[in-house]
Amino acid sequence: SQTIHQWPATLVQPVGSPLSLECTVEGTSNPNLYWYRQAAGRGLQLLFYSVGIGQISSEVPQNLSASRPQDRQFILSSKKLLLSDSGFYLCAWNGQGTGLYEQYFGPGTRLTVT
Amino acid sequence: GQSLEQPSEVTAVEGAIVQINCTYQTSGFYGLSWYQQHDGGAPTFLSYNALDGLEETGRFSSFLSRSDSYGYLLLQELQMKDSASYFCAVRDLGDSNYQLIWGAGTKLIIKP
C-alpha cells in the first residue's frame, strides 16, 4: 500500500530564517506531487505541483521554492521566511492515471514564523 | 475567475441528516470532489462526481448537477465523529491539467 510521509510535524522559525520541508511517498512510482498551504480556518492553496523529477510548476508567486530531486521526494524551501508564511503545509500525491480528482495527503507540517 | 462557494458553517443534531452545498464557477469542469478534514488533520477523500446524479457511499452521498453548476454532500445518521470541515473541489482543465480548485470549507458542528 502507498504511504506519504512529511516532516517535521511542527516547526517554529524566526523571520528571515531558511526553511526546508520534506515529503516522501512510498509504494508507488512516478506520482504527481503537490504542496499546499492552508491558513487557519481556510481552504487549501496550491503552491507547487510536479509531474516528474525536476519538473516543478508554481501556482502562486512567493518567496518559496520546490524541488523534486527523486521520483518520490518533494521538498519545499525558502531562503528567508516571512511572517505571512505561517500556516499548515500539506504534501499530497496522486497517480498518473487516477483521474486527478483523488489526492492523498500527508499529515502536514504546522509552521509558525515568529 | 474561478471560484467555489460553500457555507462556512453548518450545525446539526446527532442522528440527523445534513446537506452541505457547493456552487462552482470555473472555466472548465471535469468533476466535483469532496474531502473531509478533522481539526489538526489532513484532508481525506470522500467522493467524486463526474456525471449528474447521486453517488452513495455508506452514510455519505454526493450529488451533482452540471447544468446548475451545483453539488452537495449529504451525510445521514450523523455521528459525533462526523464533526469536521468538508471541502468541495473541482478538477478544472484550465491552465493546469493537474490542479484542483478548492472551496473554503464548511465546518460541520454536531450537537448531541
- pLDDT tens digits for A70-90? 999 999 999 999 999 999 999
Q: Which residues of chain A are within 8 Å of residue B30 when distances are taken between CB atoms?
A: 100-101
Q: Which residue of A has its CA nearest to B105?
A: A43
In total, the C-beta contacts within 8 angstroms joining chain A to chain B are: 59
Cα–Cα dist A31/A46, whole Å = 17
The pLDDT score that the predictor gives to residue B2 is 77
Q: Which residues of A touch B98 (CB under 8 A)?
A: 32, 34, 49, 51, 57, 100
Give the residue-averaged pLDDT of B22-34: 88
Could you report the per-residue pLDDT of A19-74, keeping only the tens digit for each? 999 999 999 889 999 999 999 888 898 899 898 999 998 877 678 999 999 999 99
CB atoms within 10 A of CB B56: 12
More confident residue, B26 or B17: B17
Lowest mean pLDDT among A59-73, B16-30, B37-51, B90-104: B90-104
Cis amide leading into A107 (omega within 30): no
DSSP state at residue B29: -
